[in-house]
Chain A
């Protein structure tokens, strides 16, 4: 008799809880240590850089790009672990401690892969598409306020900037779908455009309602305005539905289940990036995870008071809150089936858009009565 038959389902081990706690502690420790590092030693360098605006901009851009790449490594590992735990398995275990370096190994593998361009593909478009998708998601990080000081560039019109920049990634998606010379890619691209454009409408409306209540479009302004009470607690009747709509829309914007139609594996093989391999594929992947992190961060900024919080350093609060939202998104992704295209569209236009319109009206009334 094999022992496997009699084994009942595996309970959550103490080790796993320990792992979770230790990760949290590690994140807190690292983030708390950062302000206390001997930054003044870098003073000559920073003052030199600050003297030349172009150099300064380049340095800032490099930092944002590095951050995005690094957080993606962690995020992908986290997603795999979460998926594993939800699916009664352990996730990556072999490369590095608890599979921590698995993503690094995968990235190296992708770098070493042959760069394949399909015959009769539209070569310039095909080559350009991954960057058209990646650059907007990188740019959005520029205005995301990690703390009041950690902002790439504190635009007075941050919310507008985010909306307009993130929409341009549709171009890249369609370039990929069109340029691949593959019918599945084309279908995926067409779906992506329909989906991203439609879900942008309620997203914009919901963000507008937050902006109307805050009276500012600057993301740091929106956070500082929540000093007394987070938006979600200050106007619960308004902001809880707003957050839900926002969450649904961002799920659709970042192509995650139940809205992963543009890359629906069981229907379209891999959607618009079917033909991509190697580093170009990695850029799509990177953009997706960067978008994901950004959306979660934006949700925290708009509804959960951004970096505000007592006791811990501001950046830690921001990271923790963002991780919670990310966890919520992962939970949804690994639980729900996929919608059909017509169901998805009708849900957007018949439910989300009217609801967010009503929210705008309510926000206007609430704003007037203030």
Chain B
């Protein structure tokens, strides 16, 4: 496919998919070269959502950095909160109480479900099954209701704090959560009957956008993209944080590496998250939810690195302290950015409809890509 001839010599058409395209899920621009319906080359153009977050981190105190992480991966902002709080805790040598850790895990898994439901909804719409969108969002609505009565917000939670969490679970939360999980499992079963087994759906996804395990490893893929390619890699298992080492759950791994595998990984992950949440509710000890924190938090000079498993993959923060109340440097390693980099290698040779299927299966969030 590599050809140095110009567009005119090859009789191809250049099409801009985005930044205002209904299926790029945010302001992503794909510069696609088409030969009829077939992609010759693709160049993702990013930066439309760049806000200079990493610089803004440096001008705020440690606690004030948390709301910014809400605006990175806005589909799963609690996972972002947790990632940066872990980095801060490691800098300052803090340890969240056990109850807080359980609640954090519980909320992060709830957020993972919400995020994967968004994936399911938008992905089905991308493939053309519009009704699934509303079924998935109906479940997500219940999930967001729960998050709202816990954190007071529906999307940008700003909830996790260095050293714990600000508030304990509200009354009746457990009951509502159990109801939601029952509904969710039912809805997932319903979805399997409606969508997963559908021949058209399978025909659109199977064998499309295949990522080999070698390629996934070479590009640094993580999360469902890596696990769909047969790499058994989940930070919650390989480098457990919080209380994940005490919880029982499976990491779904599929070996085909196509869009269907990535879809199936996410669907199965929702079931596993439900399992984790039930265990958290059962095992959660009573006690403190916040450790002692100084009014003005000044961690000693040093650096820290946190690794967490966000719904999209491995979300890490690197943080350097110079002993002042503000961090000297913060860098986020965001999975969407890494996965987007795989597109130019995945797209040549596929049909234009597959671009949407492949892009959707990577489940990128542009807030996280651009920062």
Chain A positions near chain B (C-beta within 8 angstroms) = 1-2, 4-6, 8-9, 83, 86-89, 183-184, 187, 191, 257-258, 260-261, 264-267, 269, 334-343
Q: A1-B171, A266-B23, A341-B37 are in contact. Are A87 and B135 (CB under 8 A)?
A: yes
CB of B131 within 8 A of CB of A335, answer: yes
Tell which of B13, B37, B131 touches A87, judged by Cβ atoms closer than 8 Å: B131
Q: How many A-B residue pairs have CB under 8 A?
A: 108
Tell which of B23, B124, B194, B198 touches A267, judged by Cβ atoms closer than 8 Å: B23
Q: Return B21 CB to nearest CB of chain A, in Å.
A: 7
CB of B141 within 8 A of CB of A4, answer: yes
Contacts of B356 in A (CB 8 A): 266-267
CA distance A340 to B352 in the complex (A): 9
Q: Return A9 CB to nearest CB of chain B, in Å.
A: 8
Contacts of B134 in A (CB 8 A): 87-89
Q: A184-B15, A337-B200, A338-B200 are in contact. Are A264 and B353 (CB under 8 A)?
A: yes
CA distance A265 to B148 in the complex (A): 33
Tell which of B125, B170, B203, B204 touches A1, judged by Cβ atoms closer than 8 Å: B170
Q: Within 8 Å of chain A (Cβ to Cβ): is B22?
A: yes
Other CB < 8 Å A-B pairs besides A183-B13, A269-B21, 14 of them? A1-B175, A2-B148, A8-B179, A9-B183, A87-B133, A257-B128, A260-B128, A266-B125, A267-B352, A335-B129, A337-B128, A337-B195, A337-B201, A340-B353
CB of A266 within 8 A of CB of B22, answer: yes
Q: Within 8 Å of chain A (Cβ to Cβ): is B149?
A: yes
Tell which of A6, A265, A343 touches B22, judged by Cβ atoms closer than 8 Å: A265
CB of A8 within 8 A of CB of B194, answer: no
Q: Return A300 CB to nearest CB of chain B, in Å.
A: 26
Contacts of B141 in A (CB 8 A): 4
CB of A4 within 8 A of CB of B194, answer: no
Chain A at the B interface: SS class: loop
Total interface residues in chain B, CB < 8 Å: 47
CB of B135 within 8 A of CB of A337, answer: no
Contacts of B176 in A (CB 8 A): 1, 5-6
CB of A343 within 8 A of CB of B203, answer: yes
Contacts of B129 in A (CB 8 A): 335-338
CA distance A190 to B194 in the complex (A): 31
CA distance A89 to B229 in the complex (A): 37
Task: Flag B351-371 by CB within 8 Å of A: 1 or 0 each.
Answer: 111111000000000000000
Tell which of B138, B175, B183, B203 touches A88, judged by Cβ atoms closer than 8 Å: B138
CB of A4 within 8 A of CB of B124, answer: no
Contacts of B23 in A (CB 8 A): 266-267
Contacts of B52 in A (CB 8 A): none
Contacts of A9 in B (CB 8 A): 138, 183
Q: A187-B352, A339-B203, A341-B351 are in contact. Are A5 and B124 (CB under 8 A)?
A: no
Q: List 15 A-B contacts (CB under 8 A).
A: A1-B172, A1-B173, A5-B145, A8-B183, A89-B134, A187-B37, A257-B128, A258-B200, A266-B127, A267-B352, A335-B131, A336-B129, A336-B200, A338-B128, A342-B351
CB of A2 within 8 A of CB of B131, answer: no
Contacts of B102 in A (CB 8 A): none
Contacts of B180 in A (CB 8 A): 5
Task: Flag B4-25 by CB within 8 Å of A: 1 or 0 each.
Answer: 0000000001010000011100
Q: A1-B170, A5-B176 are in contact. Are A339 and B204 (CB under 8 A)?
A: yes
